[in-house]
Amino acid sequence: MVVVEIIMATAMVAVIVYLYVKRQQTYWARRNVPHLKPEFFYGNTKTLDRTEQIGIIFARFYNELKNSGPLAGVYMYVRPVAVVTDLELVKCILVKDFQHFTDRGFYYNEIHDPLSAHMFNLPGSKWKSLRQKLSPTFTSGKMKMMFSTIVAAGKQFNDFLEEKVERESELEMKDLLARFTTDVIGMCAFGIECNSMKDPDAQFRVMGRKFFEDQRGQVKNVFHNAAPELAKKAGVRVLDKDVSDFFLNVVRETVDYRVKNNIKRNDFMDLLIQMRNPEESESGEGLLSFNELAAQCFLFYLAGFETSSTLLTWTLYELSLNQSIQEKGRQHVMNVLDKHDGEITYESVNDMIYLDKILNEALRKYPPVPVHFREATKDYQVPDTKIVIETGTKVFIPVYGIHHDPAVFPDPERFDPERFSPEQVQNRHPCAWTPFGEGPRICIGLRFGLLQAKVGLIYLLKNFKFDIGEKSKAPLSFDVKSLTLSPEGGLSLKVKKNLLAN
């Protein structure tokens, strides 16, 4: 008897699961939205397999679906995800109708994992008040204040590299560049000399690497994706406990030290301490609780070093492939510096417009964040269609796909900084190029990121010459485990001193 009942029950569960998956995976069909045919259970992405970087997966979807209308559907396992395939609609979602898309839909857990409750992850209302509090931290005035710190780190990086090329002719640049940006953000966000330049095992670098490598495809991600509310109650964390403890401690010590000794250093930490609620366990009007302060510090650190260092990595890669652009960039740096008495100042850096073109083109070809994420917070009628994006639907913008679409950027695999001449920019759709996102949730650290990349590039071009190394001769592939678009196995370059540098 019992055996029969068990078989019956199992069969029933199987049928229910089957029907649930089928129902979920006909979501787009039932709404007459163009879509890709899902594989049973897996849908279209198989993110746990880790065979393709997420930006490339969504670029593929973009190419397959872009001729079928402004919006199309895919499935990540059983979850329907909308893919935006039209630039006007990108603009509506990010900018014009932002009110319908204020969230990214990322998991965080304020109680069990306070560092995960940072601005990038927070939903609408919580995000808004935090963004308002933090915006004054990133004005051009504040960037000017931090400029000397960035240059100091650039100088250290330069000296380190000069020593290194005396002994080695081929260098792994990705790691070196990440150490440079780690030092910059360490100084600016924590006021700490991370020293990762000299000491590759410096704690900051180790913890940062741990966070970015090996994020995708973890089983806990499946849980908090499928049932975020349940995961929150069950105490599922985003960060490993040792990473989290390390950063909470660093922030604790830094805050205490500065408050006790009344230290002011014109950096992010300083600005955050000014907003610290003396009643540390709660936030208030314009004030941050200790946990909130620590979470933002942590976010600046994460957002600051990885994105900017991969930007510099790809830039050096392209400049090594095209020596004439590299030389033009070098001449430009020399000429502008000559006009400014050879000094790297805020003004001279601002005058180096050709470097902006180079960096912008590198951001086009290799957007460090290759997909933008939104979640519908209110039903949204897609203009000029019958499609309604329902509340709670995830909406992805395939940045890498758009940046490589020949209809948007002709001959997209060619690296051409002149795409960013004022005329060419004028002739493009305003949402054609969005490496920093767009609208109210655009990257808050955009100026800072570009500034540190530019200062790094100035030192690199001024004093060194780059050529493709033996190990990087074959076309580079993308690291599928990385959240950002970064080269598998790093970037190996032949580096020489520029003997003409003064």
Residue 316: which of 189, 458, 449 has the closest Cα?
Answer: 458
| CA angle in degrees (0–180, nearest 5) for 30-399-388 | 25
Residues with Cβ < 8 Å from 233, sequence gap 6 or more? none
| Residue 322 found at the interface with ligand NAG (CB under 6 A) | yes
User: DSSP string of 425-482?
Assistant: HHTS-TTS--TT--GGGS-TTHHHHHHHHHHHHHHHHHHEEEEE-GGG-SPP-B-TT-
Residues with Cβ < 8 Å from 55, sequence gap 6 or more? 367, 370, 371, 398, 399, 400, 478, 485
Residue 320: which of 449, 421, 458, 464 has the closest Cα?
Answer: 464
Instruction: Provide long-range contacts, Cβ within 8 A and 24+ apart, for 287-291.
Output: 287/133, 288/133, 290/252, 290/255, 291/110, 291/114, 291/115, 291/117
Binding test (CB under 6 A) with ligand NAG, winner from 161, 184, 187, 325? 325
Contact code string over 362-401 relative to ligand NAG, x by CB under 6 A: ----------------------------------------
| Residue 437 found at the interface with ligand HEM (CB under 6 A) | yes
Contact code string over 320-359 relative to ligand HEM, x by CB under 6 A: ----------------------------------------
User: Which single residue brings its beta carbon nearest to ligand NAG?
Assistant: 322
User: DSSP string of 62-122?
Assistant: HHHHGGG-SEEEEEETTEEEEEE--HHHHHIIIIITGGG--B-----BTTTBGGG-STTT-
According to DSSP, residue 394 is labeled E
CB of 321 to ligand HEM, least distance (A): 20
| Residue 455 found at the interface with ligand HEM (CB under 6 A) | no
CB of 101 to ligand HEM, least distance (A): 10
Binding test (CB under 6 A) with ligand HEM, winner from 73, 105, 417, 435? 435
CB of 462 to ligand HEM, least distance (A): 21
| Residue 487 found at the interface with ligand HEM (CB under 6 A) | no
What separation in angstroms does the CA of 455 have from each of 128, 318, 436?
A: 31, 18, 19
| Residue 360 found at the interface with ligand NAG (CB under 6 A) | no
Q: CB 480: neighbour CB atoms within 10 A?
A: 16
Pairing of β 464-468 and β 388-389: unpaired
| Residue 448 found at the interface with ligand HEM (CB under 6 A) | yes
What is the helix (H) or strand (E) element at residue 357, kind and residue range?
A: helix 353-365
Q: Which does 359 bind (CB under 5 to 8 A by kind): ligand NAG, ligand HEM, none?
A: none
Residue closer to ligand HEM (CB basis): 146 or 231: 146
Q: Which does 325 bind (CB under 5 to 8 A by kind): ligand NAG, ligand HEM, none?
A: ligand NAG
Task: Find the length of the chain.
Answer: 502
Residue 478: which of 124, 159, 216, 198 has the closest Cα?
Answer: 216
| Residue 212 found at the interface with ligand HEM (CB under 6 A) | no
What is the residue whose two structure tokens read 């998991």? 107
CA–CA separation, 72 vs 82, rounded Å?
Answer: 6
Q: Which stretch binds ligand NAG (CB under 6 A): 246-254, 284-292, 317-325, 371-379?
A: 317-325
Contact code string over 357-386 relative to ligand HEM, x by CB under 6 A: -----------xx--x--------------
Binders of ligand HEM among 80-119, rule CB under 6 A?
94, 119
Binding test (CB under 6 A) with ligand NAG, winner from 416, 453, 484, 486? 416
Q: Which does 416 bind (CB under 5 to 8 A by kind): ligand NAG, ligand HEM, none?
A: ligand NAG
Q: Which stretch binds ligand NAG (CB under 6 A): 12-20, 45-53, 320-328, 428-436?
A: 320-328
| Residue 324 found at the interface with ligand NAG (CB under 6 A) | yes
Residue closer to ligand HEM (CB basis): 87 or 303: 303
Binding test (CB under 6 A) with ligand HEM, winner from 77, 101, 107, 120? 120
Give the number of residues in contact with ligand NAG, rule: CB under 6 A: 4
Binders of ligand HEM among 285-314, rule CB under 6 A?
299-300, 303-304, 307-308, 311
Q: Which stretch binds ligand HEM (CB under 6 A): 348-356, 422-430, 442-450, 486-494?
A: 442-450
According to DSSP, residue 374 is labeled E
Pairing of β 492-497 and β 464-468: antiparallel
Burial call 172-209: b when 16+ CB within 10 Å, e when fewer: bbbbbbbbbbbbbbbbbbbbebbbbbeeeebebbebbe
User: Which single residue brings its beta carbon nearest to ligand HEM?
Assistant: 437
| Residue 443 found at the interface with ligand HEM (CB under 6 A) | yes
Contact set with ligand HEM (CB under 6 A):
94, 119-120, 131, 299-300, 303-304, 307-308, 311, 368-369, 372, 435-438, 441-445, 448-449, 453
Contact set with ligand NAG (CB under 6 A):
322, 324-325, 416
